[in-house]
Amino acid sequence: MTGALIVAARRTPIGTAGRSLAGVTAAELGGAVVRAVADDLGEVPAEVVLGNCMGPGGNVARVASLTAGLPVEVPALTVDRQCASGLAAIELGARLVSGGSGPVVAGGVESASTAPWRFWPPEAGGPPVRYERAPFAPASDDVDMGVAADLLAQERGVTRERQDAYAAESHARAVLAAARGEFDAEIVAVGGVAADERPRAGLTAERLARFRAAFREGGTVTIGNSCGVNDGAAAVGIVPAGSREGAAGRPGLRVLGAASAGVAPGRPGIGLVPAVKLALAEAGLAVGDLDVIEFNEAFAGQVLACYDALGIDPGRACAGGGALALGHPWGASGAVLVVRLFTQLVRQGRGRYGLAAIAAGGGQGTALVVEACR
């Protein structure tokens, strides 16, 4: 994997579903970051690979590529690994480049606001039945994500107090990072929106403690320590490390390892743990070697359980806030993590090694390990 170098990384602002980006389609969100990354690359990519979960179908990556104004000759592929789709797309793009492909633009996009309604066909002459999501697993194991996160927190001993404190810290970090301008270089304005919508100043653990359990009687997961439902897109530009860009010393992130793994579908939130172990093994690194860590914060209890399982101090991760504060645009979230790594390791020079990881519905996880080249 050392043959792939990420030399560009951009994302849209992240909006709350039905609000700031409600009128922007998945193809338009994706097109905005594909165009920006292609411009940063300074050349036409050989391929576009985008992750997506709930879009209209029809190969969203292809529609976004054409919306971006790329030549019709550039092929595009849409990847669905549910919440891990954006990071899986980057993993695939890195492997394509390492295998001899030309430059690849890879990432993810999600517009929960414009996602089409979906229906099961009628049975025995009855009406069609609308459903909110496709199955993640066979019916016997298809646990709702919120319930699964609550059960995981209980089983792993993650208390409500820890969850609320972590969620409050995520918002505080995101608000501070925005105030310092740390997101400015990575954000591509779209639909007249240039800033993330969700982070809240002054959100304390004490305020979050007032929320009731959202998914299970007596549970610890609430709407306050869970991510939102969001719109957004993110993408990176990947070039061969031996290309003229790499040879000229262009700064970037060398991909050292990447992996996806599966776990029991009833506890999908822990899925990133085996993926992290595999990716670190491929990279030849340990948790202690990492300078920057970005985990997707779908639920505070879920991500804290993952930190505990891997022996990671939560204070070392998501320095600019995570999905609890910024939002979780499903198919894009894994790519957002890599954009955040790029900003911290390349734009800000905060260290050498970085890790991005995300869990996905159905019991899967994806992880990526990178090294800053400056």
What are the tens digits of pLDDT across the range 243-291? 554 444 689 999 999 999 999 999 999 999 999 999 999 999 999 999 9
What is the four-CA torsion angle of 314, 315, 316, 322, rounded to 10 degrees? 70
pLDDT of 60-91, one tens digit each? 999 999 999 999 999 999 999 999 999 999 99
Query: Is 313 within the bounds of a domain?
Result: yes
Query: Is 94 within the bounds of a domain?
Result: yes
Return the residue matching tokens 């459903």.
Answer: 131
DSSP states of 104-167 as a string? EEEEEEEETTTPPPEEEPPSTT---EEESS--SS-GGG---HHHHHHHHHHHTT--HHHHHHHH
Query: Is 216 within the bounds of a domain?
Result: no
Looking at the whole model, is its pTM more than 0.95?
yes
Q: Is 357 helix (H, G, I), strand (E, B) or coil?
A: strand
* Domain containing residue 326: 4-115+226-373
How many H-runs (helices) and E-runs (strands) does the chain carry? 11, 12
**Full pLDDT tens readout for the chain, 374 residues:** 689 999 999 999 999 999 999 999 999 999 999 999 999 999 999 999 999 999 999 999 999 999 999 999 999 999 999 999 999 999 999 999 999 999 999 999 999 999 999 999 999 989 999 998 999 999 999 999 999 999 999 999 999 999 999 999 999 999 999 999 999 999 999 999 999 999 999 999 999 999 999 999 999 999 999 999 999 999 999 999 875 544 446 899 999 999 999 999 999 999 999 999 999 999 999 999 999 999 999 999 999 999 999 999 999 999 999 999 999 999 999 999 999 999 999 999 999 999 999 999 999 999 999 999 98
Q: Give the whole-angstrom CA distance, residue 9 versus residue 106.
A: 10
Query: Is 126 within the bounds of a domain?
Result: no
Query: Is 219 within the bounds of a domain?
Result: no
Catalytic residues: 83, 328
Total domains present in the chain? 1
Query: Is 130 within the bounds of a domain?
Result: no
Query: Is 214 within the bounds of a domain?
Result: no
The pairing of beta strand 353-360 with beta strand 292-295: parallel
The domain spanning residue 332 has which CATH number? 3.40.47.10
Query: Is 185 within the bounds of a domain?
Result: no
